[in-house]
Structure 1
Amino acid sequence: MEGTDHFAKGTWKLIRSENFGQYCKYMGVSWVKRLLSSLICPCQKIRVASGHWSILTSSLLRETDVQFTEGKECTWLTYDGRNIRTSVVMENGKLVLHQLDPPFAKITREFDDQTMIMTLEVDGVKARRIYQKRDTAITDNKTINWSGILLFMFVCLSTVSIAWYCQL
């Protein structure tokens, strides 16, 4: 499926995220999954050949591989486990995913030589995820924000402690 010299082809590592938690909240993603998504830095490995695409999203927690053809409807398994019907097209050099089921989200990927900006929009809620192109294999890019993991563990333990104390 590898295409030659396609602008989107390669491995892209998340380096910054803006308002992604609010977007996920609006989309109905659970609090725990939203918290975990803020702690991981996934990679997206994109392969393209003759209008056929594969986007492999990988992190320490999960891996999804979505395959589609430009302009044709497909079912897309989101990273948080939802199945959505989508249509994916190229618009002005950008890869645009239109979600065909409510809520009707739009995900746009813009590329340059070293950066991919993924903009996620739904009903006025807008998030951006900025990725940097990597030269290494996707399996070499599994990164964890350890301070975030420790914070998550602290919150979980605090919640359990409060629940236990309230039962006394």
Structure 2
Amino acid sequence: MVEQFAGTWTLAASENFDDYMKAIGVGFATRQMGNMVKPNLVISVGDGGVISMKSESTFKTTEVNFKLGEEFDETTADGRNTKTTITFENGKLVQKQAWDGKATTLEREIQDGKLMAKCYMDDVVAVRTYEKQA
């Protein structure tokens, strides 16, 4: 169930994120900020199946509100305007973003009490590990 994702998660580890940002077309200065910042991910499930996912950092805060399986317009932290759909498949929140003829997939799942976010763009994979705040 999606409820297992609810809570506040703090970025604890990040692997290959710079290469992922390069692959999706993020410029150098924004990548530098993206590599330094340790965002909190706040996920909540509201009435009517609306899910809120907020990324909070000293650099930028972004928030999306969505229903599973329904496409919505998203402006990402790096300024891309995407058509995004988030589904729940095999225990994972799967976020697909499409823009300018490109597409990327982010899979979030709970493993050993940690939220693992895998970011896929072509053959580049980044893994970001979040720990739940008490």
How far off is 1:51 after superposition?
2.8
Q: Where in structure 2 are there 5+ consecutive unaligned residues?
A: none
CA-to-aligned-CA distance 1:131-160 (integer Å, 9 cap, x gap): 00012xxxxxxxxxxxxxxxxxxxxxxxxx
4+ residue segments displaced more than 4 Å: none
Residue type of the alignment partner of 2:28? W
- Asked if the contact 1:52–1:67 (Cα under 8 Å) also holds between the matched residues in 2, the reply is yes
State the AA in 2 paired with 1:104.
A
State the partner residue of 1:116. Answer: 115
Query: 2-side partners of 1:29 and 1:131: how far apart?
Result: 22
Q: Which whole-Å CA distance do the structure 2 matches of 1:105 and 1:36 have between them? A: 20
Q: Secondary structure at the match of 2:25?
A: coil
Give yes or no for the alignment of 1:30 onto 2:27.
yes
* Amino-acid identity (%): 35
**Number of the residue aligned with 2:97:** 99
Rounded Cα–Cα distance in structure 2 between residues aligned with 1:51 and 1:127: 29
SS in 1 for 2:22: helix
Secondary structure (helix, strand or coil) at the match of 2:18 reads: helix
CA displacement at 1:119 relative to structure 2: 0.3
Residue in structure 2 matched with residue 66 of structure 1 by the alignment: 64
How far apart, in 2, do the equivalents of 1:44 and 1:51 lie? 19
Q: Could you give the per-residue CA deviations for residues 23-67 of structure 1, whole angstroms, max 9, x where no partner exists?
A: 100111010111111111000100013531101100011111111
CA distance in 1, matches of 2:33, 2:69: 32
The alignment's TM-score, normalised by the length of structure 1, stands at 0.74
Q: Which has the larger radius of gyration?
A: 1
Give the helix-richer structure, 1 or 2.
1
Do the aligned partners of 1:7 and 1:113 also contact (CA within 8 Å) in 2? no
| The 10-residue stretch of structure 1 (71-80 or 16-25) with the greater mean CA deviation from structure 2 | 71-80
Which residue number corresponds to residue 126 of structure 2?
Answer: 127
For 1:132 and 1:61, how far apart are their aligned partners in 2?
20
Partner of residue 37, structure 2: 40
The separation in 1 between residues aligned to 2:27 and 2:21, in whole angstroms, is 8
Inter-CA distance 48–113: structure 2 relative to 1 (3 Å threshold): farther
**Contact 1:7–1:112 at 8 Å: present in 2 too?**
no
Q: TM-score, normalized by length of structure 2?
A: 0.92
The Cα shift of 1:100 comes to 3.0
Q: Give the CA deviation at 1:88.
A: 0.8
Q: What's the offset of the Cα at 1:71?
A: 0.6
**Paired residues, number:** 131
Q: Distance in 1 between matches of 2:66 and 2:40?
A: 19
Query: Considering only aligned residues, what root-mean-square deviation do their CA atoms show, in Å?
Result: 1.5
